A and B are shown apart, each in its own frame.
Chain A
Amino acid sequence: MNTSLILHTILGLLLLLIPAGALYFLERKMLPTFLVSVARMVVQLLALCLVVWALIRLDSPWLLLVWLVVIAAYSGWLVLKRCQLAVGTFLPAVGAGLLVGVALCSLWLLALVLPVRVFDARWFVPVTALLTGHAAAMMIRGLNTYVSALKTDEQQYEFLRGNGQSHFKALMPFLRRSLLAVLSPTIANLSGLCLTAMPLLLCGIFLGGMTPINAFVLMLHMTVGCVAASVLALALAIWLADRQLFDKFGKLQ
């Protein structure tokens, strides 16, 4: 890090004087919370950047696999916290669902679609991070809908089982609701994507030196990959969590 970078960082942070000043005059009690949150953001961002920098620098396939396992486990933990499910019981299933779902879709994108060297850290890290982030966000909706539908409509599950349906077939209405919870916001907002969140990411890609048409293709592939990874990770997590959710008599635990 050179002096110029430090100077520019300080200049950038000076912009915080605007919201901090506004809070000072209008809601002084919020000021310490705001400053603590900015400090946490800076530390987290710095730590993440150092990790990614080290990964790209070392460019080791083993380290990249460790990175994938760690982000899958961390995202699984976040999902379970948000869904208020027992972390100790469900983390293996949810973490493994995210890991395998994201790994398979990432491999497909990296090896066949883009195509680049699979364990090239410059590609592997952003692709897996984007897919994991999206899959985890969607899993919060999907898993929560699934579990809460099973709890509120346990009678329906038992009705179907009692009428001779297999465990898997009796779960179909609940899987359908879970899938709809995941896909409905995606379907509803996919068309609005370009106007809202994408410009920021596109700017990043342009800064990386890509042409607009390559950037378009990359964004398209990544969007499709995100949607696919979210459905695959959810399906795997639900499948893996089945033993924790039901006892050997098929009763919801």
Chain B
Amino acid sequence: MLEVKDATITVGGQVLAVGLSFMARDGELTCITGPEGSGKTSLLRTLMGFLPVGSGYVSVDGELLTVKSSQAFRRMMAYLPQQMEQLRHQLEPPEAPTSKADDYAVWGGGLSLKPVSETIAAPLSPEEILRLAAETLRQSADKQIIIADEPAARLSSEQTMQMLDLFRQQAEAGKTVLIASRKPQIVAEAQQVINL
């Protein structure tokens, strides 16, 4: 169970939420919703210890979550970030760069070498996003908390239902499932909705 009590969420000096309190229970699907820029992602990042809580607290099974202790708590979490389509390299590690003879190296005109810039990988297709989500959840069988940030943003209605099925299975297994989403399908399925 994850509890947020009187929490203030602040990012870069901008207060996004004040006095926020809720409890995400085991076996339930909790949806955090609200307009764009309302602080859904920041709240999830706070729950994972990537951002500090301005005031109030976050606890997991009664244990206080702080930035210092967050690493230990994250071992209990599975996370599907926003912009999952950018995780191409998580699905397929990039190939080793090919080198031409004049790229050379030992004894060569070393400092004339140009730096190599990384290229942006092609975004994942909706099918690949679903595959990565399923794979991540499958590997997180021993984790108690599932956190997903706009997991269905790029999915069709049918694919959103498939994604929801994945989350439902996790909740049925007794896990705490927290999803930030504006999709009505997901909001309608949640046992608890937190409006920011």
Contacts and interface: CB of A to CB of B under 8 A. Distances in A.
**Are A and B subunits of one complex?**
yes
A223 B106 contact: yes
A161 B67 CA distance: 13
Contacts of B48: 162
A186 B64 CA distance: 50
Contact of B105 (A137, A143, A149, A153): A137
B98 A159 contact: no
**Majority SS of interface residues in chain B?**
loop
Interface string B76-90: 111101011011011
Nearest to B77: A164
Q: Which residue, B51, B67, B94, has most C-beta atoms of chain A within 10 A?
A: B94
Contacts, number: 152
B101 interface: yes
B87 A156 contact: yes
Interface stretch (A16-24, A47-55, A189-197): A189-197
B183 interface: no
Contacts of B119: 152
B64 to A, nearest CB: 17
A70 to B, nearest CB: 16
B22 interface: no
A189 B52 contact: no
B195 interface: no
A12 B129 CA distance: 66
Interface in B171-190: none
A137 B115 CA distance: 9
Contact of A166 (B71, B90, B106): B71
Nearest to B143: A164
A24 to B, nearest CB: 27
Nearest to B96: A180
Interface stretch (A27-35, A93-101, A116-124, A244-252): A244-252
B50 A152 contact: no
A251 B115 CA distance: 24
Contact of A82 (B94, B115, B136): B115
Contacts of B67: 248-249
B79 A163 contact: yes
A198 interface: yes
A188 interface: yes
Interface in A173-214: 173, 176-177, 180-181, 184-190, 192-193, 196-198, 201
B118 A136 contact: no
Contacts of B120: 152
B110 A163 contact: no
A143 B119 CA distance: 15
Contacts of B140: 163
Contacts of A241: none
A106 interface: no
A151 B121 CA distance: 12
B111 A185 contact: no
A183 B79 CA distance: 33
Nearest to A224: B106
Report which residue of B81, B105, B118 has the largest number of chain A beta carbons within 10 angstroms of its beta carbon.
B105
Given A148-B118, A249-B52, A164 B76 contact: yes
Nearest to A144: B115
Given A144-B115, A173-B93, A177-B118, A137 B77 contact: no
A189 B120 CA distance: 27
A198 B103 CA distance: 16
Contacts of A166: 71
B113 A137 contact: yes
Interface string A228-253: 00000000000000000000111100
B97 A192 contact: no
A64 interface: no
Contact of B104 (A159, A185, A251): A185
A138 B79 CA distance: 36
Contacts of B117: 144, 148
Nearest to B74: A164
16 contacts: A134-B105, A141-B113, A144-B115, A145-B97, A156-B87, A156-B89, A159-B90, A177-B94, A185-B104, A188-B103, A188-B104, A189-B99, A197-B104, A248-B67, A249-B49, A249-B50
